[in-house]
Each structure stands twice: as structure tokens, then as C-alpha cells.
Structure 1
Amino acid sequence: MRNLNYLVKIEENELLLERFIEAINGGTVKIDEQYPNPYLLDSGEKFLLDSIVKYFFQTRSFSKELYVSFIEKLRKLSGFKSYEYTLGNLTKDLICAKFDRVQRNNSRIFVPKTGEIASKNTLTEEENELLSFLCYLAVSHIKYGPSYASVTANQYFDVVTQLGSDEVEQLKKNGTGKLPKELTNYKDSDLAFKANDVFAAIHIKLINETEESYKKALTLVNNLLKSDFPKSFEIAFSAKTKELLPVKGFPKCGQHYLLAGAVKYVKLHSLILEYIDLTKHKYEWYTNLEDENCAMPSTFAVFALGLQNENYFDTLVDYYQTVDEEHQSIQSKFTPVFLEKFGVTKKSIKVYINAVLSLQEHPHYKAFIAYFSTENSLKLLLDSRENFAAYYFTDENLKEYSDSETDAQEMAAYCWESVMYTTFGQSKDFGKIARQLTEEQKKLFEKLL
């Protein structure tokens, strides 16, 4: 059996576990840098966090205030993900032990549908506290978990409602109440703004469609996103005129309307850049978009600016290098519009190839062939091929390849195949394309193969 340099066993280690809890509450515990990152005392002892959480539940009578206080310290130390699985199972055990109606199916808890919802008046103070704690855990999933964690959160909310608590209804109306009202509620003659941090929803009604109104809306959104608001969220937007970006296939949604309307005003571009910085998170999403329209929350802002001028090419490249290429493909709809606007230049080709690399297989459009069949564009493609690793691999990419013993040049050759497919289509058609080129163009084209 492998010897561990940290402890996991609770039995016979109770006194040491008490010291860990005391250190957590006192803010003196540290996190070991080596996986699986056990907690570390100043005196050198190490304990796995799961065991500390289990011991806490075993030895402390339930009190929402006590439990939340302790768990919030853990979150600030090592993040929600470090304990959410163990905390979820322990909380489910508490709920099932207290409420006979609650059943458990593997990791899921639920109340069988009988058509009856218990009355709030029949709940004891302890039962209300326990259901409120389950709401706290649900909200934590929404605020600190990945976007799909909302599925778990909604399961918890359903249980709370079925058992007779009205807390979910209150959360729908008012959010957690932890954010200052000046961040979540605003109304004047230009617009009405309301945000709910539980359901990660921002509602904006624009009364006057002016630069000042859009400025107020963006400022309110940005100030909210600087607070403890969920990183995955949705924007509901209403106005007499709903602007859209000139990108075929982009979904119509609140965040699209807001950014397409705001980008018309050059003075607001700095606010849009700030919004991008606040929302550029690889594994976060707009919660009102699904399937092929899944989008990182900076998406519409990036593309709104990306169609303005070359000043925002770096913004596009940074976006393409950040997105989750395995689960997002909406960006491919922007590429044809980008080429139509800017053509193929020394600067735009870097944007184009980063766009190709930003998803697992960027589709080929026939229009691309004409853009890349000129002598100048073929030379630019050849330059990109010959300097692919230097131009298109980030330091993070190179470190990843080094750690996995992947040869960077082999990876560059693999990526180049994607560039060739997106640009010229199937390799079986390359001969047909070559026959339509001049002799000089054909020489350059053949060097690309």
C-alpha cells in the first residue's frame, strides 16, 4: 500500500483534527502545494480536507450559522470545488435523516411527486434551518460551480419547495440579499435595472435608446460583475429597437442586443473592454444559451468590437486562445464576416488562424478559397506555416506539450491540417483549386501542402 505523507483516517486522530478546525477558524492553516493539496498546520501535520469536513459534521450539532461560517472559511482558503462533493453528500445525509419523505437515488435526493406540498407552518425551526442550509449549498453551486452545476442547484431547490419552505420563492424575488441594493436595483428615466445573484439573471429595460442610457447599463453590469455575482449568467434586455451584429446565425438574446446597441458609440468601447475582462472565463457560459449556441460570457462583446477596426484584433486573438474549444463552436459563425470586413492581411491572418484553432473542427466555407488564393495571401499562409509554433502556440501550449512529451513541431503539423481544411476544404479538391491558379500562385500553394 502506498505511504501517504498526509492523513485521511479520522479514528485515533480526533485531537489533531480539532487542531485543524481551530487553525481553520483562526486563519492559520495552509494548503500544501502538492496534489491532492491537503491542509497543513504550522507544526507540519497534513490532513486531507474531506476528512476534516466529515469530522466537523460528526462532532458539531447542526446549526446553519456555525456550519456556514466554517464552510465559508474553507471556500476562501481553497475554493468551493475543494469540498463541494463531500459537503453535498454529508448535507444529503442530514436531509434524508431528518425528512422521511426525501429519497436518495445514487447522488440525487428528491421528494416523490404526490401532488402535495408540505405547509411551512408544519416545519420546526431546526427543519427550516436545515432547508435554508440546503438553499445555501444550492446558491454556492450557482455562484462558484461550473455552469452545469445549476442542475444540482435546481434539484436542491425542488426539495426545499416540496418540503414546505418558501425560501426559494424569496430567493427568486430578492436574491440572497447579500449584495448592496445599489448593485442589484436601479431605475431612472433612462432605464430600469434589476439583478438576482441566486438565479444569475440581469434584467435591463432601456427606456431611452441613447449613448447615456447604454453607458448607464454597461456601468451597472460591470459594477455588478466586480462583486460576488455568478460568473455564468444571463442578460434579459428590452428596448424599442433591438440591435443585432451582422453575423448570420448568431442567437437573438439579451446580451446580444445590449452589446450590439452599445458598440455603436465609440466612447463606450472602453466599458465594453472592461466587460470583456470581467467575463472572459473559459468554463463559464451564458446560461440562456444552449447546445451549438453555448458561449463564454464575453462572446458578443468581443465580436462587437472585433468588427470595428484593427485595434481590437488582439482582443479577438486573446478570446480565441481562451475559449473552451471542446464545448463551444459559436465563434465559427463570425469568421466569414471577419474576412469579408478585413480581408487577408499580415494582421488579420493571425486572427483567422487563431479562430480556426479555437474549436475542434472549424467548418470550411467556399468563400474562404477566394480570400486565400491571391499571391499575397498565399505568401502569408506560407509564412504562418513556416513559423506556426512561434506565431500560434502560447507559452501555456508549449508547457503543456513539454509536460506530455508532445513534439511542438508535430503538433504544429497537425494543427496545419485543420487550417488547410478550413481554408480550402477537402484535400481531394486541392488539385482542382491548383488548376485555377497562376504558375506563381500554384508554386506557393504546393508549398502549403
Structure 2
Amino acid sequence: MRELNYLVKIEGNELLLERFIDAINDGTCKIDDKYPNPYLLDSGEKFLLAVIIEYFFQTRTFSKELYISFIEKLRKISGFNSYYYALGKQTEELVFNAFERVKKNKHKIFIPKKEEELSSPSLTKEDKELLSFLCYLAVSHIKYGPSYASVTANEYFDIVTELGSDEVAQLKKNGTGKLAKELIEYKDSDLTAKANDVFATINLKLANDNEESYGKALTFVNKLLQTDFPKSYEISFSAKNKELLPVKGLPKCGQHYLFAGAVKFPKLHPQILEYVHLSQHKYEWYNNLEDENCAMPSTFAVFALGLENENYFETLISYYKTVDEEHQSVQSKFTQAFLEKFGVTEKSIKVYINAILSIQEHPYNKTFASYFATEKSLKLLLDNKENFISYYFTDQDLKEYTDSGNEASEMAEYCWESVMYTTFGQTKGFAKISKTLTDDEKIIFEKLQTRAKQ
């Protein structure tokens, strides 16, 4: 059996666990920096957080106020993702034991379909408080968990509603109530706006298609994102005219309409850029887009600015370096529009290659090769191949490659194969491409295909 340097057993450690709870409550508890990151006392003892939570539930009579106070202190110490599973299991056990209609299996609690239509007995004060705590946990999933955590949140909301509580309906109507009314509601002759911090929705209705209306909409959204509003959310947008970016295949949605319209007004570009900085978080998503259209918040704002001028090339590159390349590919639709606008220059080629690297396999587009059909553009491509590591790998990248036993040069070769495929297609077609080039261009093209000597 592997020997642990932290404690995981309740029996016999009750006094020590009380010390951990005291330390959590007074803010002196810390986290060990080694996985699985147990909690750490100033005196050196270590305990796994899941066990601390289990002990807390075993020894403290349920009180919504007491439990939320303790959990919020955990969140400040180590964040929601450090305890959501353990907290969920303990809370589900409480609900299962309190309500006869609630069943459970190995994975979750639920109300059987055949019982959904049954009327529930009147809820006691204690019942309402426990269901309200389950709502608190659901809201935490939406606000602090990854985007897919909304599935668990909605399962909890369904149970609360089926058991006869009206709290979910109130949350849908008013949100948590923790945000000031002026932050979640706005109305004048230009804009009607309303947000809900539980269901992560932002609704915008523009009465006028002008700079002032769009400016007010951006101000509303940016102020909201400076609060504790969920990082994954959706924007619905209504206006007399709905603009679209000149990017073929981009999904039509509220955030697309908003930034395609706002970018028409140069004075609003600083506000759009502010939105990008406020909203861009890896592993967060626009909730109204799915599957191949999944998009990290900021996507449409970045694309809108990215087609304006070279000033926003770094904004594009930063975006490409942030996206989750394993689960997002919508950015590939932007590449063609970008090349059409800017062509291949010393600056634009960096954006182009970062776009390719932002996806596990950027699709080949037969028109891309036409942008690299000159000696100048081929030389730029060769320069990027020969300096790939210094141009495209950060110090953090290099450290990760070393830690995982990979050579940076091998990773550069692997990435370069993606660049060549996206630009020129399969290698079996390279001979045909070569026939269209001048002698000098052929020499460069051959160097682009040559693997570095190890």
C-alpha cells in the first residue's frame, strides 16, 4: 500500500479535524502545493479536503447559514473545483435521507419519472432550507464550475422544483439577488437590458442602430463581467438590424450580432477590447453554442476587431494561445477571412500560424496556397519554419516539453507538418504545386518540406 504524507481517516483524528475546521473558519488554513493538495495547518499536519467536508457534515446539524458560511471559506482558500465533488456527494446524501421521493444510484440523486407527477407533501421550514442549500450548490456549479457543470446544476434545480419549492422560479425571475439592480437591469430610449446571474443570461434589446445604443450595451455587459457573474454565459440580442461579420460559416447568435454591429463604430473599439479582456477565459464557453460551434467568450469580439487593422493582431494571437484546442474549432472559419483581408505579410503570417496551432487539426483550404504563391510569401514561410521554436514556443511550452520527455525540435517538426497540411494539403499533391512555381520558388518550397537534421 502506498504510504501517504497526509491523513484520510476520520476515526481517531476527530480532535485534529476540529482544529482544521477552526483554521478554515479563522482563515489560517493553507493548501499543500503537492497533489492532491491536502489542507495544511501552520503546525504541519495535512488532511485531505474531502474528508474534512465529510467530517463537517457528520458533526454539524444542518443549517443553511452555517453550511454556506463554511463552504464559502473553502472557496476562498482553494476554489470551487477543489471541493465540488465531495460537497455534492454529502449534500445529495442529506437530500436523499430527507425526502422519500428522492432516489439515488452510484452517480447521482434523482426523482423517478413515474413519480414526477405525484404531488409532494407540504414542505417544512427545514425542508425549504435544505432545498435552498441544494439551489446554492447548483448556482455555484454555474458560477464557478466549468461550462458542463450546468448539467448537474439543472438536475438539482429539477429536483428542487419537483419537490414543491418555488425557489428555482424565483431565481429564474430575479437571479441570486446579490448583484445590485442597476447592474442587472437597464432601460432607456436606446437600450433595454437584463441579466440573470443564476442562469448566466444577458438579454439586450437595442431600439436604435447607432453608436450610443451599442455603447450603452457594451457598458452594461462590461460592468456585469466585472462582478461575480458566471464566466460561461449567453447573450441574446434584438435589434432592427442584425449585423454579421464577413466570415463564412460563423454561427448566428446574440454575441455575434452584438460585436458585428458595435465594431462599425471606431469609438467603441476600446470598449470591445475591454470586453475581450474581461470575458476571455480558457475552458469557459458561450452557453448558446454547441458541438462544432463551441466558442470561448470573447470569440466574436476578437474576430470583429481582428478584421479591422494590424493593431489587433496581438489580440488575435493572444486569443489563439488561450482557446482550448481540443474542444474548439470554430476559429478555423475565421482564417480564410483573415487572409482575404490582410494577405501574407511579416506580421500577418504570425497570426496565420497561431491560428493553425490553436486547433488539433486545422482544416486544409485549397485557397490558402494561393496566398503563398510568391517568392516573398514563401520566404516568409521559410523564415517561420527555421525560427519556429523562438517564434511560437513560450518558456512555459519548453518547460512542459522537457518535463514530458519531448524535444522542442520534435514538437516543432510536428507543428510544422500541420502548417504544411493546412496550407498546401496532402504531401502527394506537393509535386503538382511545385510545377506552378519558378525555379527560385521551387528551391524554397523544397526547404519547407525538408525535416530538420536531428
- Fold conserved (TM > 0.5)? yes
Measured against aligned partners, the alpha-carbon deviations of 1:279-309 in whole angstroms (never above 9, x if no partner) come to: 1111000000000000000100000000000
Supply the distance in 2 between the matched residues of 1:158 and 1:118 (Cα, whole angstroms): 14
Partner of 2:315: 315
Q: How far off its partner does 1:396 sit?
A: 2.1
Partner of 1:401: 401
> Aligned ranges for residues 32-431 of structure 1 at < 5 Å?
32-113=32-113, 114-119=115-120, 122-431=122-431
Amino acid at match of 1:206: L
Supply the distance in 1 between the matched residues of 2:184 and 2:116 (Cα, whole angstroms): 35
The answer to whether the 8 A contact 1:211-1:265 is kept is: yes
Supply the distance in 2 between the matched residues of 1:381 and 1:34 (Cα, whole angstroms): 43
- SS for the counterpart of 2:331 is helix
Q: How far off its partner does 1:157 sit?
A: 0.6
- SS for the counterpart of 1:255 is helix
The answer to whether the 8 A contact 2:244-2:260 is kept is: yes
Q: How far off its partner does 1:35 sit?
A: 1.5
- SS for the counterpart of 2:292 is helix
Q: How far off its partner does 1:154 sit?
A: 0.6
Q: How far off its partner does 1:395 sit?
A: 2.1
Q: How far off its partner does 1:256 sit?
A: 0.4
Q: How far off its partner does 1:3 sit?
A: 2.4
- SS for the counterpart of 1:3 is coil
Supply the distance in 1 between the matched residues of 2:326 and 2:30 (Cα, whole angstroms): 34
- SS for the counterpart of 1:192 is strand
Measured against aligned partners, the alpha-carbon deviations of 1:36-58 in whole angstroms (never above 9, x if no partner) come to: 11111112211111111000000
Supply the distance in 2 between the matched residues of 1:44 and 1:90 (Cα, whole angstroms): 27
Q: How far off its partner does 1:212 sit?
A: 1.1
Supply the distance in 1 between the matched residues of 2:70 and 2:107 (Cα, whole angstroms): 24
Partner of 1:15: 15
Q: Aligned residues, how many? A: 448
TM-score under structure 2 length normalisation: 0.97
Q: How far off its partner does 1:109 sit?
A: 1.4
Supply the distance in 2 between the matched residues of 1:374 and 1:322 (Cα, whole angstroms): 32
- SS for the counterpart of 1:36 is coil
Q: How far off its partner does 1:118 sit?
A: 3.3
Amino acid at match of 2:365: Y
Supply the distance in 1 between the matched residues of 2:274 and 2:363 (Cα, whole angstroms): 31
Q: How far off its partner does 1:4 sit?
A: 1.9
Supply the distance in 1 between the matched residues of 2:37 and 2:174 (Cα, whole angstroms): 37
Supply the distance in 2 between the matched residues of 1:165 and 1:107 (Cα, whole angstroms): 24
- SS for the counterpart of 1:89 is helix
- SS for the counterpart of 2:50 is helix
Q: How far off its partner does 1:117 sit?
A: 5.0
Measured against aligned partners, the alpha-carbon deviations of 1:315-370 in whole angstroms (never above 9, x if no partner) come to: 00010011000000000000001000000000000000000110011111111111
Amino acid at match of 1:338: F
The answer to whether the 8 A contact 2:286-2:295 is kept is: yes
Amino acid at match of 2:384: S
Amino acid at match of 2:188: D
- SS for the counterpart of 2:235 is strand
1:375 and 1:216, CA in 2 relative to 1: closer, same or farther beyond 3 A?
same
Q: After TM superposition, what 4+ stretches of structure 1 lie above 6 angstroms from structure 2?
A: none
Q: How far off its partner does 1:2 sit?
A: 2.5
Identity %: 74
The answer to whether the 8 A contact 1:232-1:297 is kept is: yes
- Name the stretch that deviates more: 243-252 or 101-110: 101-110
Let me know the Cα RMSD of the aligned residues: 0.9
The answer to whether the 8 A contact 1:110-1:159 is kept is: yes
Supply the distance in 2 between the matched residues of 1:353 and 1:385 (Cα, whole angstroms): 10
The answer to whether the 8 A contact 2:320-2:358 is kept is: yes
- SS for the counterpart of 1:433 is helix
Supply the distance in 1 between the matched residues of 2:363 and 2:4 (Cα, whole angstroms): 49
- Alignment gaps of 5+ in structure 2: 450-454
Supply the distance in 2 between the matched residues of 1:232 and 1:274 (Cα, whole angstroms): 17
The answer to whether the 8 A contact 1:117-1:163 is kept is: no
TM-score under structure 1 length normalisation: 0.98
The answer to whether the 8 A contact 1:292-1:328 is kept is: yes
The answer to whether the 8 A contact 2:116-2:162 is kept is: no
Measured against aligned partners, the alpha-carbon deviations of 1:109-142 in whole angstroms (never above 9, x if no partner) come to: 11112352535x7011111111111111000000
Amino acid at match of 1:264: K
The answer to whether the 8 A contact 1:205-1:238 is kept is: yes
The answer to whether the 8 A contact 2:23-2:41 is kept is: yes
- SS for the counterpart of 1:43 is coil
- SS for the counterpart of 1:195 is strand
Supply the distance in 1 between the matched residues of 2:97 and 2:48 (Cα, whole angstroms): 26
Q: Is residue 2:32 matched to residue 1:29?
A: no
Supply the distance in 2 between the matched residues of 1:437 and 1:308 (Cα, whole angstroms): 32
1:105 and 1:243, CA in 2 relative to 1: closer, same or farther beyond 3 A?
same
- Name the stretch that deviates more: 294-303 or 39-48: 39-48
- SS for the counterpart of 1:101 is coil
The answer to whether the 8 A contact 2:375-2:441 is kept is: yes
